[in-house]
Copies of this chain bind each other. A is one copy, B any other.
C-alpha cells in the first residue's frame, strides 16, 4: 500500500491577519500590488512565517515515454522525448535558457524514457520502465510501478535543498495522458479535455479524440486518482504527483507549469487536497483542457501568454513574480519607517 506524507493545511487565520497587516503597512496604497500581495500572503502561510524567504529554487523536469504514442496521438515521434532530454542537458532548450536566466537549479529526471542516457551531473535516473504500456490495450502501468513512481518523486524532492520546487515535464504523448486524467477525475467530456498538444492538425486531433474515447471506455472502472494513474499513465505524471506531495509535506512552495504538471497536481489533490495551498499556478496555456483543469482546482494562474511548450518553461517564466512577492514583503519600507503620509481620507 502506498505511503502518502502528511500535509498540513496552510490555513492560519491569526498568521494571515498579521501578514495582511504587514502588507498593508508597506509604502503603497492598500491592495495596489494586486496578485503579488496575495502571493506574498500565501508564501508566508506556506512557511508559517511573517518573514518568509524563498531560497535555492529547484526546477525539476520529469521525462518519460508513453505507449499510447504508438496510436498516433502526437505530432512528434517518441524519439523526441530522449532527444529533448539531451537538449535540456546540453543547454539548448527553452527551459535551459530560462533556468540559466533566473538561476534556477535544473535537474532532468528520467522517469521512464525509452532510451539509455549516459550519466550526467544534472540528470537523475529513476527509470520506472521503458515508457508506459499502450493504455488503449491495457493499463499504462502496474500498481507497483505507480507506487514506485510516486515514491521516487517524493525521494527526489526530499533530497533537494531550498524551499521552492518548480515542476515541468517532457514526454511525447503526455497531453493525452493528462487529458484522460482530467476527464476521468472531473467528469468533463474528453472532447473538451483534449487539445492539439504540441501541434496536431484537425484530422490529427480527431484521431486523438477517437483513441482517447476508446481508452476511457476500456478503463471504465479506473475511477480513483491512483487507479486512473495506473490506467492512463504516465510515469512522469505520477512522479510529479509524488514530488508535489513531498514538497507540500516539507512546506515548500510548488510552482506548477502547465497542463501536464497541472494534471499531476490534480491527482495529488485528489489524494490529499491540502497540497493545493502550496501550489502557485504559473500560467494558463493554450492547451484546451488547461483552463478547465485550473477552474476545477479553483486556481488563478499568474500568466496568460498563449504558452504550450511544457518543459517547465511557464513555471520558469512566472518564477520572477513569485520571487518578487516575498522580496517586496521583506524589503519595502512601511509608511512609518519611510515617513510617508497616510491617506487623507483614512
**Residues on A close to B: CB < 8 A?**
26-36, 74-77, 79-80, 83-84, 86-87, 90-94, 96-98, 100-102, 198-201, 204, 286, 302-309, 313, 317, 320-321, 323-324, 327-328, 331-333, 337-346
From B83, B327, B342, give the contact of A341 (CB < 8 A): B83
Contacting pair A308 B32 (CB below 8 A): yes
In whole Å, how far is A255's beta carbon from the nearest beta carbon of chain B?
14
Contacting pair A338 B92 (CB below 8 A): yes
Contacting pair B98 A308 (CB below 8 A): no
Contacting pair A84 B34 (CB below 8 A): no
Contacting pair A341 B79 (CB below 8 A): yes
In whole Å, how far is A7's beta carbon from the nearest beta carbon of chain B?
28
Contacting pair B32 A309 (CB below 8 A): yes
Find chain B residues with CB under 8 A from A199 CB.
29-32, 343
Contacting pair A345 B204 (CB below 8 A): yes
User: Which B residue sits closest to A340, measured CB to CB?
Assistant: B83
Contacting pair B93 A27 (CB below 8 A): yes
Contacting pair A77 B344 (CB below 8 A): yes
14 contacts between A and B (CB under 8 A): A26-B94, A27-B92, A29-B75, A29-B199, A31-B308, A33-B94, A33-B309, A35-B305, A83-B339, A86-B338, A87-B340, A90-B338, A97-B332, A101-B320
User: Which B residue sits closest to A330, measured CB to CB?
Assistant: B97
Inter-chain CA distance A343–B199, complex, in Å, is 9
Contacting pair A327 B97 (CB below 8 A): yes
